[in-house]
Structure formats: C-alpha cells, structure tokens
C-alpha cells in the first residue's frame, strides 16, 4: 500500500514525509526516475465533470497520484459541466467517488482538505461560447494565483457525439494553442484527452480525427484506451524484450497459436441504448483487443519512445489480413446471450434488457480468427473473443506453443502431453503463468501439466496503480507512448468494417445464441475445432 502522509506534514503533490527512504535505503537512480515523472505545474480541466467517469475513475486516480507524490504542489482541478454546482458541491462529488472507488479509501480528512482546496467548478453549456470565454478567464486567473504556468490538460469525459463541438469551442476560446507548438505569445502547453469510442466506423473516425486536428495538433491529442495503462500490458514489453529466454521463441517457428480473451460477467448494466447501437465488435475488439494484439505481436522498437512504439503497433495492424465476406462467414462468430445464471445471480436475456430492441441483432459476443501476414507471424492464427454474461471476468493473452517434434514418451506408455501454454493475465489477477509437462513422482511414467505462476500481488510489496493513474500522469508529462495515434485508430476500423458490413448484409453467418453464464455459443468452439484447437478457459 502507498504510505499516506501524516496529517499536516505535506502539501498535496509533495512526496509524503514519512514515505521518504532512510539514508541506508536510498536509491538515487530510483529517486531520479521518480522526479522525472513529476509533471510541471498545470491545471486539469474535466469537461463533463459531474458524470460517472469522473466519480469512478478520474477522482480516485488524481487522489492516488497525489498520495504517491506525483502531482506538483501547484496542481489544480477545474470541473466544467452543465449541472449547477458550487465549488463545495463539486468537491463533495469527487470525495464520494474516492471514498467508494479508490484503492486508497476512504480519503483522509486532513489530506483531503488540503487537496480539495485546489478544486473549482464552473457551470456551462457546451454550445455556449460565453461559458468557454469565462473558463478561459478562470484559467488565466489560476495561472496568476497558483503558478500553473499556462499548462492545461483538458479531459473530455463526455459522450463522443459531443467531442466535435467541445473541441471547436476550445479552439474558439483560445484554449487549444500550445506555445511550444505554435510559437504563441502565451507560454505553456495545452493537451486534450479523448475517451473511446473514437468513431463508429472508418468514415466517422476519419471525420472525427479531422475535426479534432483542425483545432489541436496530433502531438496534443491523447486518445485513451485504459487497457494500455494496465501493469501487465506494460510489463509485456519488458517480458519480451528484456529477457533473452523468450524473445528467440516469439515467432511462427515455436508458437502454434495465440488467444486473446476479454470476458465480462456483467450484461449491459443499464447501458442498453448505447450498447444496442454499438455491440461487442465496436465496443471491445476495435480498441482493447486489437491493441493487446498489437502490443503482443510488434517488433522491437528502436527506442522506447512514443513515436517508435506506435510505429511498431501500426505495422502489426497493417499486416492483418483483410476479410472477404466468405472469410467473415468462416472465421467469425457473433452471439447474443439469453437468460441464465452468472455467479448464482439470474441474468435476463439481452433482448429483455431495458432500452434494447426486442428483436435486436446486436452481438454481445464475438469470436474472430485473424492472421498477421508478416515474416514473424505468418501461419500463426490469432483467435480473439469477447463477450458479456460469461462465467468469469478475465482478460488474458494465451500463447500455445508447438508440440515437441517427436512424441518420445509415448513409447514408454505415457499419454499425449498437453501443449505448453504461456498465459499473460491482464485482469483481474494480474500475472503470468507458464504451463509445462512434468513427470508425476512414483513408479511408472505419467506426465502431468504443472504451472509456474507469477502474480503481481504476491511478488511486489506495492499496489499496482490503476490504469487511469498511469495514463493521466503520462499525459501531464507529455508521454504519448500508451495512447493511440490517429493512424492506429483508422487502421483498426479498416480491419473491422468489412466484418460489420458482411454481418449487416447477411453474408457473415447468422447470430448465435448462448445461455448467460456459459462460455459463449457452440459455434465459437466449432470454429477452433476445425483447426484442431480449443479455447482455453481462464
């Protein structure tokens, strides 16, 4: 757990006094790296600050960054939304989110009093130019009073349909220019964090990219996918490129297939209207699943800089083989859950959910077979699946290695060995598992699969930060490594649009139904069985 500062001993943003190492424990390199991650003085403007995202994710993330000493003392939060709130009511809204959702909860009263004193709220309609002009005046005043140096981070915590109007208003109010990028008279930087989904197809993504780039330069735009902020996803690069044991076998010669699973136990959770217009392909595969695949399959970057990392991810996406309608019918499965039971709780059928059409054809489950036509991955199938109302909440990348070239132990009467599996668990129990065969002790010759299991929770004496903590801090320091670039977003839609089109035209196979609490439609199992493979159960 992060050590909390004692009451009255530290300003918010300053490293807690009682967390400072003793002289015998000092590690100058570690301290230097930590200081490099403390951003410049800045103001974070949360647009749509009264919504669930702010309460559940942003407020806890900012509080935990403050507790860990990663915020500068001058850091200020401004909420901007339509509701009529006082500054104190806004602070109470953030406090409620921290008390319920933070990994360090509840908030310490004395620490919260200090931190919340730098929080302000402004009411405004998103289409009202006068409200944005008032926001600009407020930010100028905060720069003078608190020394935030003209540095502003705008977080669009609103539905994507509102992004174009808000971005246009930011530009019209003079809030989008960065002195370093434009040579403007005003010093300081401006950056904008944009939440997913980024478009609903290729055309809408291109339109949105163009609209945002009319106001902000690409270097100022941070398209957030919270999966890329998870510790296990970041550790994947270290696992591959920092260990001589694994990089030589990370290719078609040794890997038989790869499975990427994003499984959820929940249904649509009151988001029926949104989900029925979106579906699993757009909601999860376009961003989370394809990003996981790109990070897993990319080549080593020249350096671990944002441009180099994102260049390599784009190369992976560009190498994904496009699907014809025939490929869609053969290599994709779409499903929808019916009534069932998950973790002992009754779950209504998808079509019975509020705000879902009673004859809806929207998929709550997707399984795909993708091919990466590159020198490293040619012939290695990538199986991707995601679904709602499944029996377990789990996100993982499972690597199945090829069998040994000779079934040597069959001559001794041993049954066929299970394939070696490397499972990279992204959530909820972050870690890495390696499964291999070992002889069972005793007479005879029995072989059984055994596990070597690394878990973050038991291996390190610190809590893993929430993904939003990592990503917000990265945006403040100007590190875009874990954010998606415009060409990444557009290429992902290029991969998936033919699938959506084939489904819509009735050329991509029928909609399959599955019971809530099962692992999806049997057609998904049959798709892998045709290749002589089976889904791994996380």
Burial 73-103 (b: 16+ CB within 10 A, else e): ebbbbbbbbeeebeeeebbebbbebbeebbb
Per the CB < 8 A criterion, the answer to whether 262 and 293 are in contact is no
Q: Identify any residues that bridge with 190 across adjacent strands, giving them in sequence order.
A: 152
List all residues 6 or more positions away from 12 whose beta carbon is below 8 Å from its beta carbon.
66, 71, 73, 75, 111, 114, 115, 118
197 CB neighbour count, 10 Å cutoff: 17
Name the burial class of residue 234, with classes exposed (0-12), middle (13-18) and buried (19+) by CB atoms within 10 angstroms of its CB. Answer: middle
**What is the rounded CA–CA span in Å between residue 317 and residue 310?**
11
Closest CA to 382 of 289, 451, 264, 304: 289
Here the tokens at position 505 are 């035209």
CA–CA gap between residue 459 and residue 371 (Å, rounded): 35
Q: Which pair of structure tokens corresponds to residue 85?
A: 């709130």
Question: Residue 182: phi, psi to the nearest 5?
Answer: -110, -5
Please answer whether residues 393 and 428 qualify as being in contact, where contact means their C-beta atoms are separated by less than 8 angstroms.
yes
Catalytic residues: 288
Phi-psi region of 343 (alpha: psi -120 to 50; beta: other; left: phi over 0): left
């Amino acid at each position: 757990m992060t050590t909390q500062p004692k009451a009255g001993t530290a300003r918010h943003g300053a490293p807690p006094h009682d967390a400072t190492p003793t002289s015998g424990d000092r590690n100058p390199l570690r301290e230097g790296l930590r200081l490099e991650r403390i951003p410049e003085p800045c103001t974070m403007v949360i647009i749509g600050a009264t919504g669930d995202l702010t309460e559940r994710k942003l407020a806890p993330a900012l509080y935990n960054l403050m507790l860990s000493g990663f915020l500068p003392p001058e850091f200020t939060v401004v909420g901007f939304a339509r509701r009529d709130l006082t500054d104190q009511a806004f602070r109470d809204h953030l406090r409620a989110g921290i008390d319920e959702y933070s990994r360090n909860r509840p908030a310490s009263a004395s620490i919260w009093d200090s931190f919340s004193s730098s929080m302000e709220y402004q009411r405004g309609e998103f289409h009202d130019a006068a409200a944005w002009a008032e926001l600009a005046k407020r930010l100028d005043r905060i720069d003078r009073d608190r020394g935030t140096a003209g540095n502003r981070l705008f977080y669009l915590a609103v539905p994507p349909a509102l992004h174009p109007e808000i971005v246009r208003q930011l530009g019209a109010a003079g809030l989008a220019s960065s002195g370093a990028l434009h040579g403007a008279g005003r010093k300081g930087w401006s950056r904008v964090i944009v939440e997913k989904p980024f478009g609903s197809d290729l055309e809408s993504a291109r339109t949105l990219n163009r609209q945002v780039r009319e106001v902000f330069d690409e270097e100022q735009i941070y398209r957030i996918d919270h999966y890329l902020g998870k510790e296990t996803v970041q550790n994947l690069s270290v696992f591959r490129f920092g260990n001589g044991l694994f990089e030589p076998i990370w290719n078609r010669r040794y890997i038989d297939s790869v499975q990427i699973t994003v499984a959820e136990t929940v249904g649509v959770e009151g988001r029926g209207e949104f989900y029925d217009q979106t579906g699993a392909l757009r909601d999860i595969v376009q961003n989370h699943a394809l990003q996981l695949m790109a990070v897993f399959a990319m080549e080593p970057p020249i350096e671990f800089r944002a441009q180099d990392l994102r260049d390599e991810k784009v190369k992976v996406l560009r190498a994904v083989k496009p699907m014809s309608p025939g490929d869609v019918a053969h290599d994709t499965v779409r499903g929808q859950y019916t009534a069932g039971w998950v973790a002992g709780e009754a779950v209504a059928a998808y079509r019975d959910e509020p705000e879902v059409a009673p004859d809806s054809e929207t998929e709550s489950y997707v399984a795909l077979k993708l091919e990466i036509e590159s020198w490293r991955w040619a012939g290695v199938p990538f199986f991707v699946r995601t679904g709602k109302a499944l029996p377990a909440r789990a996100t993982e990348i499972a690597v199945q290695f090829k069998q040994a070239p000779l079934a040597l132990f069959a001559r001794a009467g041993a049954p066929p060995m299970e394939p070696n599996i490397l499972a990279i668990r992204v959530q909820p129990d972050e870690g890495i598992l390696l499964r291999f065969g070992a002889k069972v002790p005793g007479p005879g010759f029995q072989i059984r699969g055994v596990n070597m299991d690394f878990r973050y929770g038991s291996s390190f004496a610190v809590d893993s930060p929430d993904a939003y903590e990592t990503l917000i801090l990265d945006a403040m320091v100007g590190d875009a490594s874990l954010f998606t670039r415009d060409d990444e977003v557009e290429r992902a839609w290029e991969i998936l649009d033919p699938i959506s089109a084939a489904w819509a035209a009735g050329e991509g196979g029928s909609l399959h139904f599955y019971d809530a609490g099962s692992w999806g439609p049997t057609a998904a199992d049959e798709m892998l069985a045709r290749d002589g493979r089976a889904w791994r159960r996380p």
